[in-house]
A and B are shown apart, each in its own frame.
Chain A
Amino acid sequence: AQSVTQLGSHVSVSEGALVLLRCNYSSSVPPYLFWYVQYPNQGLQLLLKYTSAATLVKGINDFEAEFKKSETSFHLTKPSAHMSDAAEYFCAVSDRGGSQGNLIFGKGTKLSVKP
């Protein structure tokens, strides 16, 4: 069965600092992996996705993530945090590999950005 673990329910960074949000996955098949962002009282917006092509995936708003099979990780990074990045971030894996399945989400990491 597929699962996702997000390390750290809350991460706080200063504006301009590096953002690193951690995600580890478990999957019995080659995984498709996703990062979504959720602003308060809103739905989820896709930041980026890994679909077995390039291991370094670039997304919107300068976010990127690197798929590391040996570490079963898909950490999200951004070189320089902006105040507008403050939100909750969810890592997800497709529940049966490939893109056919439903999404299994982690519990989320809330990112705070200090001025």
Chain B
Amino acid sequence: DTGVSQNPRHKITKRGQNVTFRCDPISEHNRLYWYRQTLGQGPEFLTYFQNEAQLEKSRLLSDRFSAERPKGSFSTLEIQRTEQGDSAMYLCASSLSGASGAYEQYFGPGTRLTVT
């Protein structure tokens, strides 16, 4: 078990550019979550998948953001036309979910995005 991995770890981009982040969850986990964390704040929920289905999206997820999990394994989060306000740490987490509910979420190391 190698844990949740995220790539890249750091991304610097110019305003208006598109960026894409990747998350590889723990292999047997069927749930995958994306959170955003800004300086001095706790993580805020963006969206989550159960297998390949995107089941919930936060109001924080504007139409410039899109997430996919095409085969129920890894996930990508794309931000189009980046703005300076998008600068944050983007965290991915995964968990198991079954009949008795979902188990604890395991977090990856995050991707730090800086928009200049």
Contacts and interface: CB of A to CB of B under 8 A. Distances in A.
Contacts of B43: 44, 90, 103, 105
B74 interface: no
Secondary structure call for the B interface: strand
A103 B107 CA distance: 12
B110 A107 contact: no
Interface residues of A, number: 24
Q: How large is the interface on B (under 10, 10 to 19, 20 to 34, 35 or more residues)?
A: 20 to 34
Contact of A43 (B45, B97, B109): B109
Interface string A7-42: 001000000000000000000000000101000011
Nearest to B91: A43
A106 B45 contact: no
B109 A102 contact: no
Nearest to A102: B45
29 contacts: A4-B42, A36-B107, A41-B110, A41-B112, A42-B109, A42-B110, A43-B4, A43-B91, A43-B109, A44-B91, A44-B107, A46-B104, A90-B43, A92-B42, A98-B101, A99-B100, A99-B102, A99-B103, A100-B101, A102-B33, A102-B45, A103-B43, A103-B45, A104-B45, A105-B43, A105-B44, A107-B40, A107-B41, A108-B40
* 7 shortest interchain CB distances as A-B pairs: A105-B42, A99-B101, A43-B107, A44-B107, A102-B45, A43-B109, A99-B102
